[in-house]
Amino acid sequence: MRGMTAAVCLIFVLVPRVVAAQASVGEQAPLTPHDNRPRRLSVHLAAGAAIPSGNDGAGNVQSVSIGYSPTPKLTVLVSGGRAHKLPRVRQFPDGFSREPGGTLQFVSGEVRFALRSGERVSPYVLTGAGFGVWRRNEAIAEPLTNAAHVVFSSGGLAVPLGPRLRVSGDVGFLLLVERDVPHLFLPVRAGLTWRF
């Protein structure tokens, strides 16, 4: 999480025009006198909290992505992410159950579609899949570290802050399967996108 915060601060330090937020931006940034092509590449940072669900406890999620936009509304991304789930203890009249937590580190491919293009606020949807490693917090019958498969989807809203910068927020799900055991994350995230 500290690395994500440092990366966001670095963007603001290296690019003073972002802080000024001089103009609004569309899904494809407008051309400048020194640039005769649209800005199709982007870097995406996102972080948020995971809501408890079923046997799965609360947690947090972070991701960093690099994207390419073949059209103003469509972006294809390669992502690296981390999801951490806290242990969950549930009380019953005759006892209790404890679901161990863990940390997922994964790489994925993602497709993001904006419902609007141009210089305005835009709803968007995204979906993706990937693979990674799930590490449990506690030793139980299964090994502490296992290979994992990930599928995720979400929807949200992107708001332009300048010619290259957008902030976003989304809600969705991330399904992790390791050793045929599913774990469900319900992340609520805030994000930052820088187009170049």
Fold of 2-21+38-195: Porin (2.40.160)
Q: How does residue 94 score in pLDDT terms, banded at 50, 70 and 90?
A: confident
Higher pLDDT, 16 or 152: 152
Least confident of 27-31, 50-54, 180-184: 27-31
Amino acid, res. 150: V
Tell me the average pLDDT across 153-166. Answer: 93
User: How many C-beta atoms surround the C-beta of residue 93 within 10 A?
Assistant: 4
Q: What is the pLDDT of residue 139?
A: 58
- What is the residue-averaged pLDDT of the chain? 82
pLDDT of residue 35 exceeding 60: no
Residue pair 144/136 in contact (Cβ under 8 Å)? The answer is yes
Q: Under DSSP, is residue 23 helix (H, G, I), strand (E, B) or coil?
A: coil
pLDDT of residue 19 exceeding 60: no
CA pair distance 22, 162, nearest whole angstrom: 6
Higher pLDDT, 138 or 111: 111
